[in-house]
Each structure stands twice: as C-alpha cells, then as structure tokens.
C-alpha cells in the first residue's frame, strides 16, 4: 500500500498532486479538541474567518479551477463554477443579508435564526 494518495490527470496519466495518507481518527480527535474554543468564539469572529478563507480561495481560484479541470476532466468553465460555489455557498452564504440579529450586544447581518452552542444561546433575533 502506498503512503500517499496520488491524483492523476485522466487524459495523460500525469501526476497532479500527492498527499500523505493520514490517520483519520487522529485528525478527528484534533478537530474535536479544537471545537470548544471555536464554538466559544463570537459569531463575528467566525464570520471573519470564513471571509478570510473565501479570500484565499478567490486569490487562488484560477489555479484551483485548472487543477479541478485536469483532475476530473471537466471543462474549465465548469471547474471555475465549482470554485465559485465554494466561495459563495460554503463561506459567504452565512453572511448574506437577512433579518438582522443581535449577537452579544452587537447587530450582525447574515444570521436569520437563533445560533447556539450546547447549553448556550449565542444569538437571537434583534427587535
């Protein structure tokens, strides 16, 4: 068994990238340990983190689209659409204007329902 996951371009067989195969259970444990600190962060902090992620994806969008197209055989226009979907649907959708919410004394746009973590209300609709 290979120690790497290797992605190849279907049209040429050329290697596009390789990544070390990790221990999924260990990675889940790391993510689980980080969850309480993340959940304790303010909604505005988490929204800013998503915004920064979107900016990185946007800055590398053409590179990512090219890789997706080569790896899957999709046309480049479709791969660009997929990159844009990552930016919009997974990172910016929570920030789209909706009825405003009060979050720890601040009004934060983009939240349309109460937000909570176990045992703690983080945000509720503003009046």
What SS3 class is residue 94? helix
Domain residue spans in the chain? 1-40, 42-95, 97-127
CA distance 61 to 36: 31
pLDDT score, position 101: 46
Q: What is the pLDDT of residue 113?
A: 54
Q: Report how far residue 110's alpha carbon sits from residue 48's, in angstroms, rounded to the nearest whole number.
A: 12
Contact 85, 70 (CB under 8 A): no
Q: Residue 57's pLDDT is what?
A: 93
CB burial of residue 29 (10 Å; 0-12, 13-18, 19+): exposed
pLDDT of 121 over the 70 cut: no
pLDDT at 88: 83
Asked whether the whole model's pTM tops 0.85, one would answer no
Span between the terminal Cα atoms of the chain, in Å: 59
The mean pLDDT value for 19-23 works out to 85
- Mean pLDDT computed over every residue of the chain: 78
Mean pLDDT value across residues 20-34: 88
Summarised one tens digit per residue, pLDDT across range 66-107 is 999 999 999 999 999 999 998 887 766 665 555 444 445 444
CA distance 36 to 42: 12
């Amino acid at each position: 068994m290979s120690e790497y996951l290797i992605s190849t371009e279907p049209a040429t067989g050329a290697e596009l990238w390789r990544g070390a195969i990790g221990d999924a259970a260990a990675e889940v444990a790391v993510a689980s340990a980080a969850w309480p600190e993340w959940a304790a962060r303010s909604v505005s902090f988490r929204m800013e983190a998503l915004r920064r992620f979107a900016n990185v994806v946007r800055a590398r969008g053409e590179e990512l689209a090219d890789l997706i197209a080569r790896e899957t055989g999709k046309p480049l226009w479709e791969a660009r659409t997929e990159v844009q979907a990552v930016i919009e649907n997974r990172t910016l959708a929570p920030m789209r204007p909706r009825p405003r919410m009060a979050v720890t004394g601040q009004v934060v746009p983009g939240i349309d329902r109460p937000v909570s973590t176990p045992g703690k209300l983080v945000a509720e609709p503003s009046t």
